[in-house]
């Protein structure tokens, strides 16, 4: 159990276009999902916390107008990279938090590799 | 903020060897997880272990929360164990659930 999917797995787009990435928890409900960014040979960097039914909380230095997050249901969060530029090229990974009582584990999607030309 | 340090940064093993990866953290934690990131980028959950010891096949982990460290043991390593191993924690003073990742240990297992 505890499977998280992401779509698309990779995307190539032209500079100036917008790209939407979907993150779904397939077999559990997640009131909280997280979006991370990872550059080659580096660790994961948290971008934002996505809360179902409310606004996302962004980490310091992350542009909320560039990275739009919508968590419209208990199984779906979306990240839209608006007006993408080459420096936005990266590996984007989402996670969903499975919470039961004091148990609080995160499960990760397979990631989306974004290349902006 | 809370710091997470992993060691060693890189590790090369011969197939069949054992290894120990370490994760130190600077403050109390609510949650500690170990992950293996495979060559395709997928993070695979290995252990959810805020305290105590767990074992799963050739892997085991121990977290000593009072001394602020966790260890991941890999026994009889296989080439498929290659990849990056991450330790991640949630700050004990926060209820946001945000995971803070260490820099990872890159493991290469040679046949």
pLDDT digits (tens, 9 = 90+) for B64-73: 999 999 999 9
Element (H, E) at B44: strand B43-48
What are the chain B neighbours of A95 within 8 Å (beta carbons)? 43, 99
Rounded to an integer, the average pLDDT of A70-84 is 94
Which residue in chain A is spatially nearest to B48 when comparing CA positions?
A: A105
Give the residue carrying structure tokens 């767990």.
B54
**pLDDT at position B1, please?**
83
Nearest beta carbon to residue A110 from set B41, B48, B90: B41
CA distances from A88 to A99, A104, B52 (A): 32, 31, 40
For A9, which DSSP code?
S
What is the Cβ-side half-sphere exposure of residue B72, based on CA atoms within 13 angstroms? 31
pLDDT band, very low/low/confident/very high, at A104 (cuts 50, 70, 90)? confident
pLDDT over 80 at B85, yes or no? yes
Nearest beta carbon to residue B98 from set A2, A38, A49: A49
Percentage of the residues of chain B whose pLDDT score is greater than 70 = 100
pLDDT over 80 at A102, yes or no? no
pLDDT over 90 at A98, yes or no? no
What are the chain A neighbours of B101 within 8 Å (beta carbons)? 43-44
Q: Is A34 on the interface with B (CB under 8 A)?
A: yes
Give the residue carrying structure tokens 């060691």.
B7
What are the chain A neighbours of B40 within 8 Å (beta carbons)? 110
**pLDDT at position A87, please?**
95
**pLDDT at position B91, please?**
80
Tokens coding A39:
């550059």
Q: Is A111 on the interface with B (CB under 8 A)?
A: yes
Three-state DSSP class for residue B67:
helix
Residues B27, A35: Cα–Cα separation, whole Å: 24
pLDDT over 90 at B81, yes or no? yes
**pLDDT at position B71, please?**
98
**pLDDT at position A61, please?**
94
Query: In the sheet that A76-81 helps form, which strands lie side by side, from edge to edge?
Result: A4-7, A19-25, A76-81, A67-73
Beta-carbon contacts of A39 under 8 Å, excluding residues fewer than 6 positions away, are A45, A90, A91
pLDDT over 80 at A53, yes or no? yes
Tokens coding B106:
């890159």
Percentage of the residues of chain B whose pLDDT score is greater than 90 = 85
CA A28 to chain B, closest CA, distance in angstroms equals: 16
Rounded to an integer, the average pLDDT of A7-22 is 97
Rounded to an integer, the average pLDDT of B23-43 is 93
Three-state DSSP class for residue A114:
strand
């Amino acid at each position: 159990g505890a499977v998280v999917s992401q779509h698309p797995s990779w995307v190539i787009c032209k500079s100036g276009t917008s790209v939407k990435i979907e993150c779904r928890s397939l077999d559990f409900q997640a009131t909280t999902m997280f979006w991370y960014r990872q550059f080659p040979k580096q660790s994961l960097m948290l971008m934002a916390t996505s809360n179902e039914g409310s606004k996302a909380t962004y980490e310091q230095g992350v542009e909320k107008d560039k990275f739009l997050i919508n968590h419209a249901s208990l199984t779906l969060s979306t990240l839209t990279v608006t007006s993408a530029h080459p420096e936005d090229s990266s590996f984007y990974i989402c996670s969903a938090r499975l919470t039961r009582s004091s148990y609080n584990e995160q499960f990760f999607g397979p990631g989306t590799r974004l290349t902006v030309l | 903020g809370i710091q997470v340090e992993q060691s060693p940064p890189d590790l090369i093993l011969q197939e069949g060897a054992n290894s120990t990866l370490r994760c130190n953290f600077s403050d109390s934690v609510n949650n500690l997880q170990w992950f293996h990131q495979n060559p395709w980028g997928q993070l695979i959950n290995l252990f959810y272990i805020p305290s105590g010891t767990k074992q799963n096949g050739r892997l085991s982990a121990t977290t000593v929360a009072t001394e602020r460290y966790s260890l991941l043991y890999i026994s009889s390593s296989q080439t498929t164990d290659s990849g990056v191993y991450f330790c991640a924690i949630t700050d004990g003073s926060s209820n946001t659930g945000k995971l803070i990742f260490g820099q990872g240990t890159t493991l290469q297992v040679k046949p």
